[in-house]
Structure 1
Amino acid sequence: MRKFRTFRQFWPYYLQEHARPLTRALHYVGTSLVILLFAISVIRDHLWPLLLLPVAGYGFAWAAHFAIERNRPATFHYPLWSLAADFWMWTRFVTGRIGMDLAMAGVRSDGTVDPDRRL
């Protein structure tokens, strides 16, 4: 198991583990639901939406990893960095910058990873 010392080192690995567009799309759906549920909880002053956060966030993500990407979620090995990376990936997607990050990580547009750049 590779050990990453910084988030900057971890980020390309995370992107490679999310190479397929549908995997990322399901992560975006889950993260968007997490943000929405959290906002509802704050605005309505209810705690029940907070109970759904793990289901929304991890449900979509893990389904994508097992059914589409066919790999183990990075969360199993790097739980905190994976959580941060999921929100960072969502932010990069929303701002239109994820394509640049994927290219720098060696992730091709067809959802494969350049074997010479695999971490």
Structure 2
Amino acid sequence: MTQKFTSFETFYPYYLEAHENPICRRLHLLGVIVALGAILYSILTQTWWTLAIAPGFGYPCAWLSHAIFGKNVPATFGHPFYSFKGGILMYRDMLTGKVPF
């Protein structure tokens, strides 16, 4: 990834473009839901070691969705913090109808 961004505001349109495939977006959302479920399980059962594997549920869904459906490289490889924030905003925008589900 060679593209540089000076602010999140310039990054977010790029992030949305990388997620224009609806199946890619849905698999991202599924990964987040499963990862949050793993975190909730860790808290409820107090098996704290399972917190370490929670990202292992979410990221494969996202990465595979880019490889198979998005046909692009995940933005998280070059911009991990912007991508995390972009994901949260994209999920919000999906729930509010700004971004198609």
TM-score by length of 1: 0.74
**Paired amino acid for 1:65:** H
Which residue does the alignment assign to 2:47? Answer: 46
Helix, strand or coil for the counterpart of 2:20? Answer: coil
- Report the identity percentage: 33
- Could you tell me which amino acid in structure 2 is paired with residue 33 of structure 1? V
Q: Which runs of 4+ in 1 moved over 6 A?
A: none
Let me know the Cα RMSD of the aligned residues: 1.5
Unpaired stretches in structure 2, ≥5 consecutive residues: none
Structure 2 equivalent of residue 26 of structure 1: 27
Are the aligned partners of 1:23 and 1:64 in contact in 2 as well (CA < 8 Å)? yes
Counterpart CA distance in 2 for 1:43 and 1:91 is: 26
Whole-angstrom CA distance in 2 between matches of 1:48 and 1:73:
27
Q: Which residue in 1 is equivalent to 2:60?
A: 59
TM-score, normalised relative to structure 2: 0.86
Q: What are the superposed Cα offsets for residues 2-36 of structure 1, whole Å, 9 maximum, x if unpaired?
A: 22111111110000011100000100000111222
